[in-house]
Structures are given as C-alpha cells and as structure tokens.
C-alpha cells in the first residue's frame, strides 16, 4: 500500500516548456487535490477532484490543467511554464471532513 | 471565505518542555474541521491532529493536543515533552463541512517554524 505517489521528484523546466506532474493513489478515495507551496508559505489549492470525470478549480488554477479519468490518477498539466510556477507541488487524497494524505511532493524549478 | 492566521513565524523550545503554537481562524461556516500538519525539513506533510467544530472535547493524539476555543476562534497546538525530532514547520488548516461548492477546500496558514534545543 504505497498511499500517494508523485513523479517526478524534481524537475527543471525552461520558460515556455510544458510538463505533466503525475499523481497516483491506491487508497480508493474519490477526492484528490493538487496544492502548491511557495517558499516560506503554506499550501494553496490549485485544483481538486471529487471523482473520476469531475474536477474543479481551487484558489490558484491559472496556468494549470487537470484531468481525472480514473479513481487512482490525477495528473497536473503545466502549459507554457513561467518562473512564477517555481514551487513544490503536492498531491493529496482523502475525504474533506477527514485528514488528507499527501504525496512526497515534486520540486519544480522554471528558469 | 476561510482564513487561517499563524502569528508566530518561529518558536524555540527546550527539549522536554511543552510548547504552544498559535492558530486563529475566520469563517462564516457553522460546521468545520481544523487540522494541524507537520512538515520536517525533508518536505513531506504529516497529519498530526484533527478537531471538529462540534466536538465537545479537545482532541489529543499522544503528545499532541489541540486547545480549541470556539468563541475565540482559536485552535492552538500544544506539544508536550518536546523532542529534537519535533523541529519542523507546523501548519494549521481548516475545511468547511457545510454543503455547497466550497466544502472540499483545505485552507492553510503560513506556518510556524519550531526549533527544539537540546
């Protein structure tokens, strides 16, 4: 039981490049979330999903896209990377009224 | 909208002593949940403790307890008998539990960096 896994662990992008951050969970939760954490700050919600085929915007969705074709996977797509997207990205799963289980994070540097 | 305020950017405590990390929140929801997470230097987010707004007793989990004062909208974390391994960033967070479109969003504070001195 791996919980929540994220790949890659670290990535350097050039401005304007695109990439997909992968997230998978084996906890059979319907709810999944993407957060970003800027240096010295708390986490901010980018997108969330309440089940396969259903996604919605969080607090900071601009520059990102998501899809949810299965219960297990919730990839986050960055189009036209910008330096402002340099951050640590966390995927999480869990019912909203209970604790959320976080992946180990992906460190992204956009140069 | 929800807001979490953690007014202590950094705290120091001696090993084996207790420490309180402050958290105040603002919400118009009647039902909500409050969380504390620990983030060590390795970066992962570790769940510590949860308090529901209608829970009559303060939550406890081992050395962690949550001092919940609903009227003052505060949810302070108390760590007893601090250990060197408690040195980390601590985040307070909340989620509304009402029906509607916003009840899936966890709102985080900016965190408090706790340093435990030997």
Which residues of A are less than 8 Å from B51 in CB distance? none
d(CA A100, CA A49): 13
Distance of CA B89 to the CA centre of its chain: 11
For A3-37, write each residue's pLDDT tens digit. Answer: 999 999 999 999 999 999 999 999 999 999 999 99
Say yes or no for a CB contact (<8 Å) between A96 and B104: yes
Q: How many CB pairs under 8 A join A and B?
A: 58
% of chain A with per-residue pLDDT over 70: 97
**Are residues A22 and A4 in contact, defined by beta-carbon separation less than 8 angstroms?**
no
For A49-63, write each residue's pLDDT tens digit. Answer: 989 999 999 989 999
- DSSP letter (8 states) at residue B118: -
d(CA A9, CA B108): 23
Provide mean pLDDT across the span B100-105.
Answer: 60
Say yes or no for a CB contact (<8 Å) between B105 and A48: yes
Q: Which residue of A has its CA nearest to B109?
A: A42
Q: How far is CA B21 from CA B37, B80, B95, in A?
A: 12, 11, 19
List the 12-31 stretch of A: residues with Cβ below 8 A of B. Answer: 31
Tell whether A41 is within 8 A of chain B (Cβ): yes
- DSSP letter (8 states) at residue B40: -
List the 97-116 stretch of B: residues with Cβ below 8 A of A. Answer: 97, 101, 103-111
In this structure, what token pair is assigned to residue A81?
């990377």
Q: Which residue of A has its CA nearest to B103?
A: A96
Is pLDDT of B110 > 90? yes
Q: Please report the pLDDT score of residue A2 as a whole number.
A: 74
Q: Please report the pLDDT score of residue B29 as a whole number.
A: 85
At A95, is the pLDDT very low, low, confident or very high (cuts 50, 70, 90)?
Answer: confident
Tell whether B95 is within 8 A of chain A (Cβ): yes
d(CA A42, CA A102): 14
Closest CA to A4 of A98, A72, A70: A72
Is pLDDT of A108 > 90? yes
For B86, phi and psi rounded to 5 degrees? -80, -10
List the 19-48 stretch of B: residues with Cβ below 8 A of A. Answer: 33, 35, 43-45, 47
Tell whether A48 is within 8 A of chain B (Cβ): yes
Q: Please report the pLDDT score of residue B100 as a whole number.
A: 54
């Amino acid at each position: 039981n791996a919980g929540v896994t994220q790949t890659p662990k670290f990535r350097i992008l050039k401005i304007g490049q695109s990439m997909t951050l992968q997230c998978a969970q084996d906890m059979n939760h319907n709810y999944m979330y993407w957060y970003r954490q800027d240096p010295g700050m708390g986490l901010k919600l980018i997108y969330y999903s309440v089940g396969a085929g259903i996604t919605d915007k969080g607090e900071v969705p601009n520059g990102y896209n998501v899809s949810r074709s299965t219960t297990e996977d919730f990839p986050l797509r960055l189009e036209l990377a910008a330096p402002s997207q340099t951050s640590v990205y966390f995927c999480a799963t869990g019912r909203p009224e209970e604790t959320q289980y976080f992946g180990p994070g992906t460190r992204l540097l956009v140069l | 909208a929800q807001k979490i305020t953690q007014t202590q950017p950094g705290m120091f405590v001696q090993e084996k002593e207790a420490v309180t990390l402050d958290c105040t929140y603002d919400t118009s929801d009647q039902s909500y949940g409050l969380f504390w997470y620990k983030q060590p230097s390795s970066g992962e987010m570790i769940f510590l403790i949860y308090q529901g707004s209608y829970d009559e007793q303060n939550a406890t989990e081992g050395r962690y307890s949550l001092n919940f004062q609903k009227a003052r909208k505060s949810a302070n974390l108390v760590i007893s008998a601090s250990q060197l391994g408690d040195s980390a960033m601590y985040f307070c967070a909340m989620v509304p539990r009402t029906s509607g479109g916003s009840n899936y969003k966890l709102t985080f504070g900016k965190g408090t960096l706790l340093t435990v001195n030997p």
